[in-house]
Amino acid sequence: MQSRLLSVGGVAIGLAWLFAMTGQLSAQQKASAPTEATEIDYTKAQKFTHLFSAYTRTRFVPPAILTNSQRLGNLIVAGELHLSFADAIELALENNLEVAVARYNLPIAETDLLRAKGGGASRGVAGAYQSNTIFSAELGASVGSGRASGSTGAGGILGGNIPTLGSVGCCDPTVSVFYGWDNALTPLNYTVVSGVPVEGTHSAYLSTSYVQGFLTGTSFYAGVNAYRESSNATTELYNPDVASNLYVGLSQQLLNGFGYRANAKFIRISQNDLKYSRSVFRQHVVDILSKVISTYYDLLTDQDTIRVSQEELASVKDLLEKQRLEVQVRAVAASDLLSTQRDVVARQQDLLVAQNNFDQDSQSLKAEICKNFSVELANSRIIPTDSLPEPKPDDIPSLAEAFEEAARNRPEIEQAQLNLGNQEITIEAVRNGLLPNVLAYVEYAPSGLGGALDPSLTDVIHNRYGNYSYGLRLSIPLGNRTAQADAARALLEKRQLEMQLEQAQNQSVWDVSKAVSAVQQARGQLDATLQLTKLARQVVEVDKKKFAFALAQVDEVISAERELAAAENDEVRARASYAKALIQFELATGTILDRNNIELSDAVRGQIPAGDGSTPPQTGPQPATSGRSTH
């Protein structure tokens, strides 16, 4: 008894040490763990050295990072945020909350693949289509194997084992251990069988089993059953007696449930869903970056509008000062001075409106490039350091090339194709489910019986009481209406998905056509406004010279100044329209990442390495000042 207690105590201490070491390893893992969930491969199971972690704790998931990246803080100097085109893109990839939320869909899809590898049904990912018909013949459903629980056939101990047919689910194996003890007193109305009127028995049971299913439709099971019983009966051959039973068997589905395509459907769909999640994430990144770029261009437009308004105001103020001197010498009428003063106030209002628009767009851009809207960021003033893109002949390819780019890069088309691929996998599995169930099995199950001095395990090892069996089981559902309905529904859903793919392709053609037309129209408008600005500037110069020699009225000069201001503002808006048209084209063709040298892997990590990131578009020099004369 003392040795048994020591043995049990040793086992308990050993298990406690293993769990303690598992906890220590997990703590060390967390200490050196990555900071982003996308840096962890959730498609792989725990290592064997972390065996007990699979039952004591969940996989490590880094806490959410809710602070802004260091890059944003470094760019704020003396209350000013000097922001280039590349900085805006990099900050959006690192800090934008919508991108951060979408990023979690990638490891979520990886957990779905891990679940499928273990034999579970995939749960699906956001946006991906998964037909309900695929669950009609899920591997492991409706299987009842006595071996799976480690039990033995009805005649196992008596030497006439009755095989229990069935299959087990893929793919993680299961190990089972059962122990039981029993003490019983049974009054009898005879003494012929046991030799005593009251039979007393002491029994102990032990059963172990290992079962595993495979993607081929094969099931393997093995186990050992044993029990020891002592009794006060006088007619038993062995007292105490020990009975043992070993069983090893294989079963194989021959029609329904046969082969990799029928059984690996959830794994294949989960692998497709990994691509789908990446495509959806790419679409989120594209949408956010288009907003960031558009807002950055709005800031550049506001900045140019402020510059034009300041130049107009300075020119009118200069004219007002000259008129005041001339009023003193009675060279001009006082009414002309009032007209100029009224024009100064109007230009001041235009400047205030432009500055307010700049402030509003600055706040909008800050919201897109930060996670935490700190006081420092809120009070900082953005200083854009780039300019609107200058038109170039090769800004967009030909219409045919644009159609090809859209077909290759549009995420909507890619997602529709992946959904259709998932449905093809479903149809293959559902068609297999139409077949009857034919199960073949083979089993070897020796048994033994002995006493304390003649152990029964020797009988098992030497196959003294061998038992061999094989057979087939056929099950045919008459009518098969359930499987027929699922097969028809799967095909109908495929036709529906084909229509959606065609719809996505047609939409891309329509979007590309509109985008190309918009770029061409914006280019034409910009060329026209440049000419109008040049002519308006020449008119102002002529009117000012005429006014200096009293050959023109002050109203004519003010009118010319207003027309020049309108032309310069039209030029600013035309440049902005052209820049926005390029964004529209990049969205239509799905090339906004490639055209701005953005790697999707950087967006997945949420960290842009120093010296990497986006390259601003090739832009011309800062728009020149109007150069208008103040004479």
pLDDT at site 214: 93
Domain ranges of the chain: 1-63, 146-263+437-475, 267-419+494-605
Q: Judge whether residue 582 has pLDDT over 90.
A: yes
> Taking the model in full, what pTM does it have?
0.81
Give the confidence band of 141 by pLDDT, cuts at 50, 70, 90.
very low
DSSP β-bridge partners for residue 221? 211, 249
Mean pLDDT along residues 556-584? 86
Q: In what order do the strands lie in the sheet with 381-384?
A: 76-77, 80-83, 381-384
More confident residue, 28 or 131: 131
Q: Cα–Cα distance between 165 and 437 in angstroms, integer?
A: 12
| Helix, coil or strand: residue 388 | coil
Residue 554 identity: V
Mean pLDDT along residues 214-221? 93
| CA–CA distances in Å: residue 626 to residues 98, 345, 536, 593, 630 | 41, 21, 11, 35, 11
- For residue 201, give the H/E element and its range: strand 198-213
Give the confidence band of 21 by pLDDT, cuts at 50, 70, 90.
low
Burial letters 13-26, b for 16+ CB under 10 A, else e: eeeeeeeeebeeeb
More confident residue, 628 or 385: 385
pLDDT at site 47: 67
Question: Phi then psi for 616, rounded to 5 degrees?
Answer: -65, 155
Burial class (CB in 10 A: 0-12, 13-18, 19+), 459: buried
250-282 pLDDT tens trace: 999 999 999 998 899 999 999 999 999 999 999
Query: Could you tell me the CATH superfamily of domain 267-419+494-605?
Result: Outer membrane efflux proteins (OEP) (1.20.1600.10)
Q: Judge whether residue 28 has pLDDT over 60.
A: no
Give the confidence band of 552 by pLDDT, cuts at 50, 70, 90.
low
Q: Judge whether residue 569 has pLDDT over 70.
A: yes
| CA–CA distances in Å: residue 331 to residues 9, 54, 543, 559 | 116, 96, 17, 20
144-153, 278-287, 532-541: the lowest-pLDDT one: 144-153
pLDDT at site 239: 81
435-453 pLDDT tens trace: 999 999 999 999 887 766 5
160-169 pLDDT tens trace: 333 444 556 6
- For residue 204, give the H/E element and its range: strand 198-213
pLDDT at site 80: 92
pLDDT at site 589: 95
Give the confidence band of 12 by pLDDT, cuts at 50, 70, 90.
very low
95-104, 139-148, 331-340, 533-542: the lowest-pLDDT one: 139-148
Q: What is the mean pLDDT of the chain?
A: 82
10 Å Cβ neighbour count for 41? 9
Q: Judge whether residue 30 has pLDDT over 60.
A: no
97-106, 460-469, 584-593: the lowest-pLDDT one: 460-469
Give the confidence band of 50 by pLDDT, cuts at 50, 70, 90.
low
